[in-house]
Chains A and B, each alone.
Chain A
């Protein structure tokens, strides 16, 4: 009964490739997020969708494109992967923009 799930858990790929990470929540939440945890361990917000509408779009290269097919899913597509994209990516969801965020287990991306 995983509340927020992400696939894949691990992703190893070559520079220049395009990859997607999927996120699903079964909590009935309206809001979903993508965070990046960099090498210094800071969790930084990348995107937020509320009711399938983009609310937060931080200064992220446009190689990163979120897609929300419905309220329960927020996928992250990354074009032309670079070495600096190596990080752990966390998906999260909340009832609305002000409520507690619940995180997925993370996707560990390694770009070679």
Chain B
């Protein structure tokens, strides 16, 4: 039973435009959320995170928004660059008492020149 879902397997965006990646979760106990980025033949690398006490966290071109009532988070990349072409995984955990990260299936982003 997948508790973290990324319903869009792929996203194509023009260079310079905004990329919006979506993630939904079912476990209301999740209180910490992360985004990882993965290039082919490499492991996932940490991108940005957000605690459930916040609704927005920004780091350069990357912003994560959290809507707890909807159990939904999104990652915005502005402006998108060719180097952003990768697979993006959403992950969540119950930080207070659970060491396990639950991952979504990933969204493949392709940034077109």
Query: Does A4 interact with chain B (Cβ within 8 Å)?
Result: yes
Count B-side interface residues using an 8 Å CB cutoff: 21
- Chain A minimum-CB-distance residue to B99: A97
- Chain B minimum-CB-distance residue to A55: B99
Query: Does B101 interact with chain A (Cβ within 8 Å)?
Result: yes
B-binding segment of A67-75, A77-85, A100-108 = A100-108
> Is B105 a contact of A103 with CB atoms below 8 Å?
no
CB pairs A–B below 8 angstroms (6 shown): A43-B101, A48-B100, A90-B44, A102-B46, A103-B43, A103-B44
Contact of A43 among B44, B45, B49, B95 (CB under 8 A): B44
Contact of B43 among A40, A45, A92, A98 (CB under 8 A): A92
- Chain A minimum-CB-distance residue to B4: A42
- Chain B minimum-CB-distance residue to A9: B41
Give the CA-CA distance A72 to B36 in the complex, in Å: 23
> Is B44 a contact of A100 with CB atoms below 8 Å?
no
* Residues on B with beta carbons closer than 8 Å to the beta carbon of A98: 95, 99
Query: Does B42 interact with chain A (Cβ within 8 Å)?
Result: yes
- Chain A minimum-CB-distance residue to B100: A45
> Is B106 a contact of A41 with CB atoms below 8 Å?
yes
Give the CA-CA distance A106 to B34 in the complex, in Å: 20
Give the CA-CA distance A56 to B36 in the complex, in Å: 21
* Residues on A with beta carbons closer than 8 Å to the beta carbon of B45: 102-103
> Is A105 a contact of B103 with CB atoms below 8 Å?
no
* Residues on B with beta carbons closer than 8 Å to the beta carbon of A63: none
Within 8 A of A (CB), among B35-68: 36, 41-46, 49
> Is B103 a contact of A42 with CB atoms below 8 Å?
yes
